[in-house]
């Protein structure tokens, strides 16, 4: 699979650091951004690379040459004038006969490209976008998905947002050559507006959601964060080829205030200091994953659509404070019968309802998590039982409905105290 890297940008937002060099040549932890990208691709066998250059493109040519010094093969396309995020693809069409990776040249990342490509192939997708949660969703493009990860909507930085899932377009794609415009000459083209968004109704544009490390270094603040994360080893550690660590958290009484069964998004209110605690988890390298029983589905008190709005509200409130969840797993089942509006198909004795560990085990499979190095925390003894059954360390929180049941597990006032005493940031 070929890779096309769009490296023509000047980097006006970071010009105080980049000076008179292409943005993709800005040095991060001793190497140009573009070199970090090429080395990550090359390590995984994606060494057939085309770099699209623009502003001071000769600096990129001179540094990388044919790519032989980096154990890859590099070809170039030089834009005489800016062609947007996809205009150059028309000129490259003869070289792109198969699905290819398309990525922005200002990103630091370390992701499992084989895993990404396998997902794309399994969906028979025309395009797959790499998406992830981040700590600045309000100035990022938000991707809206429906069933089976099909993309159904798109929020640009200018669009009004309210209660959205923190699912950001990371700037890495796998694209079918069928999407390249059939033109006689290259013209300025926006990948999102001109190509992808008009095709959403096809049902073949998908989102691949992953907690792996992808960050643009387009502002001085993010540049400093990226440099720190590379030097600490965090960037490489988040590649899903490597074993991960996670803090699994209950929802009600652990993250949001406990008020009985939540059936409406408006009922979600964060516990004080919860966003700060989750932000520390985000910065630590642990994954932040919610594991929650939601019997409101089986009881007929809440629809799946409303539950999605509830979780979107949760992510929205966390995102306002710079925190994010890597995943939310919920059990819709409830074995007890006799409720007026109950849904009988969910009245089963399942393996995913805590105190059983099914959801934790599924998350571990999905994200290659080392359970013995992970935690399960919550305000109910069922959370502890589920954590023990999965092989996790545990923590009992007093922030929700906890009644100080007799437990031998460590006890904490709230999630922040747990994090401060157990998670190194």
Would you state the structure tokens that stand for residue 102, as one six-digit string? 């398309």
Does residue 301 share a domain with residue 173?
A: no
210 occurs within a structural domain: yes
277 occurs within a structural domain: yes
DSSP 3-state of 288: strand
Q: What is the pLDDT of residue 401?
A: 82
Q: What is the pLDDT of residue 158?
A: 82
DSSP 3-state of 88: helix
Alpha-carbon separation of residue 11 from 8, 142, 219, 295, 408 (angstroms): 9, 22, 9, 50, 55
Does residue 384 share a domain with residue 341?
A: yes
Does residue 211 share a domain with residue 64?
A: yes
372 occurs within a structural domain: yes
Domains: count for the chain? 2
130 occurs within a structural domain: yes
Residue of 407, 425, 255, 417 whose CA lies nearest to 330: 255
| Tally of CB atoms within 10 A around 71 | 11
CA distance 159 to 154: 9
Catalytic residue among 106, 229, 250, 383: 250
CA distance 178 to 169: 21
Does residue 260 share a domain with residue 166?
A: no
Last residue of a domain, one of 176, 193, 224: 224
| Tally of CB atoms within 10 A around 132 | 26
CA distance 285 to 225: 13
Does residue 256 share a domain with residue 193?
A: no
Q: What is the pLDDT of residue 163?
A: 83
Last residue of a domain, one of 190, 224, 258: 224
* Rg for the chain, CA atoms, rounded: 23
Report the CATH number at residue 105.
3.90.550.10
For residue 368, what are the domain limits? Answer: 243-422
Does residue 279 share a domain with residue 201?
A: no
234 occurs within a structural domain: no
Q: Find out whether the peptide bond into 379 is cis, omega within 30 degrees of 0.
A: no
CA distance 194 to 127: 14
Please report, for the chain, how many H helices and E strands are present, in that order: 13, 19
Q: At what angle do helices 274-284 and 304-320 cross, to 10 degrees?
A: 80
Q: Is 252 a catalytic residue?
A: yes
141 occurs within a structural domain: yes
Does residue 333 share a domain with residue 285?
A: yes
> Which of the residues in the chain have pLDDT under 70?
11-19, 403-404
The set of long-range contacts for 305-312, using a CB threshold of 8 Å and a minimum separation of 24, is: 306/263, 306/264, 306/265, 307/332, 308/165, 309/163, 309/265, 310/262, 310/264, 310/265, 310/267, 310/268, 311/165, 312/163, 312/164, 312/165, 312/265
Residue 135 CA, distance from chain mean position? 11
Q: What is the DSSP string of 79-91?
A: -SS--TTTTHHHH
Q: Is 250 a catalytic residue?
A: yes
pTM across the whole model: 0.94
Q: Give rounded-to-5 percent helix, strand, coil for the chain.
A: 35, 20, 40
Task: Give yes or no for a contact between 26 and 105, defined as CB atoms under 8 angstroms apart.
Answer: no
Alpha-carbon separation of residue 312 from 270, 295, 301 (angstroms): 13, 18, 18
CA distance 341 to 297: 10
Element (H, E) at 187: none
Does residue 184 share a domain with residue 109?
A: yes
Token look-up 């080829």 returns 241
Q: What sign results for the dihedral spanned by CA atoms 381, 305, 362, 333?
A: positive
Q: What is the pLDDT of residue 128?
A: 98
Report the CATH number at residue 369.
3.40.50.1000
Token look-up 């800005």 returns 26
Catalytic residue among 110, 229, 252, 379: 252
> What does the longest C-alpha to C-alpha distance in the chain come to?
75
Residue of 42, 205, 207, 210 whose CA lies nearest to 115: 210
Does residue 251 share a domain with residue 138?
A: no
Strands 100-104 and 168-175: antiparallel
The CB-side HSE value for 141 (13 A sphere, CA atoms) comes to: 17
284 occurs within a structural domain: yes
Does residue 220 share a domain with residue 83?
A: yes
Task: Give yes or no for a contact between 188 and 113, defined as CB atoms under 8 angstroms apart.
Answer: no
Does residue 288 share a domain with residue 216?
A: no
Last residue of a domain, one of 192, 224, 256: 224
Question: Tens of pLDDT along 183-198?
Answer: 989 999 999 999 999 9
312 occurs within a structural domain: yes
Question: Tens of pLDDT along 289-337?
Answer: 999 999 999 999 999 999 999 999 999 999 999 999 999 999 999 999 9
Does residue 207 share a domain with residue 127?
A: yes
For residue 394, count CB atoms less than 10 angstroms from its CB and return exposed for 0-12, middle for 13-18, buried for 19 or more.
buried
């Amino acid at each position: 699979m070929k890779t096309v890297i769009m490296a023509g940008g000047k980097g006006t937002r970071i010009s105080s650091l980049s000076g008179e060099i292409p943005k993709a040549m800005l040095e991060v932890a001793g190497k140009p951004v573009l070199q970090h990208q090429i080395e990550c691709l090359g390590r995984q066998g994606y060494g057939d690379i085309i770099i699209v250059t623009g502003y001071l493109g000769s600096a990129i040519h001179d540094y990388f040459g044919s790519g032989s010094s980096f154990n890859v093969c590099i070809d170039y396309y030089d834009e005489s004038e800016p062609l947007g995020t996809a205009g150059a693809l028309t000129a490259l069409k003869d070289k792109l006969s198969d699905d290819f990776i398309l990525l922005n040249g200002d990103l630091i990342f370390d992701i499992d490209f084989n895993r990404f490509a396998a997902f794309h192939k399994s969906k028979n997708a025309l395009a797959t976008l790499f998406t992830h949660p981040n700590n600045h969703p309000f100035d990022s493009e938000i991707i809206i998905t429906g069933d089976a990860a099909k993309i159904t909507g798109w929020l640009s930085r200018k669009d009004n947002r309210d209660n959205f899932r923190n699912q950001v377009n990371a700037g890495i794609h796998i694209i079918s050559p069928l999407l390249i415009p059939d033109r006689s000459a290259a013209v300025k083209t926006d990948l999102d507006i001109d190509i992808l968004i008009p095709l959403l109704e096809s049902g073949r544009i998908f989102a691949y959601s992953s907690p792996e490390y992808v960050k643009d270094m387009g502002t001085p603040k993010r540049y400093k964060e990226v440099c720190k994360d590379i030097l600490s080893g965090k960037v490489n550690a988040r590649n899903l080829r490597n074993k991960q660590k996670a803090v699994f958290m209950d929802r009600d009484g652990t993250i949001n205030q406990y008020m009985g069964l939540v059936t409406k998004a408006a009922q979600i209110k964060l516990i004080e200091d919860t966003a700060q605690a989750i932000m520390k988890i985000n910065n630590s390298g642990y994954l932040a994953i919610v594991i929650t029983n939601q019997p409101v589905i089986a009881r007929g008190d809440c629809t799946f659509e409303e539950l999605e709005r509830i979780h979107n509200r949760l992510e929205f409130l966390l995102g306002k404070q710079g925190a994010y969840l890597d995943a939310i797993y919920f059990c819709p089942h409830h074995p007890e019968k006799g409720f007026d509006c109950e849904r009988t198909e969910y009245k089963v004795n399942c393996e995913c309802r805590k105190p059983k560990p099914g959801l934790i085990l599924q998350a571990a499979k999905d994200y290659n998590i080392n359970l013995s190095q992970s935690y399960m925390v919550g305000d109910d003894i069922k959370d502890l039982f589920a954590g023990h059954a999965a092989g996790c360390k545990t923590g009992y929180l007093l922030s929700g409905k906890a009644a100080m049941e007799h437990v031998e597990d460590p006890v904490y006032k709230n999630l922040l105290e747990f994090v401060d005493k157990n998670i190194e940031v």
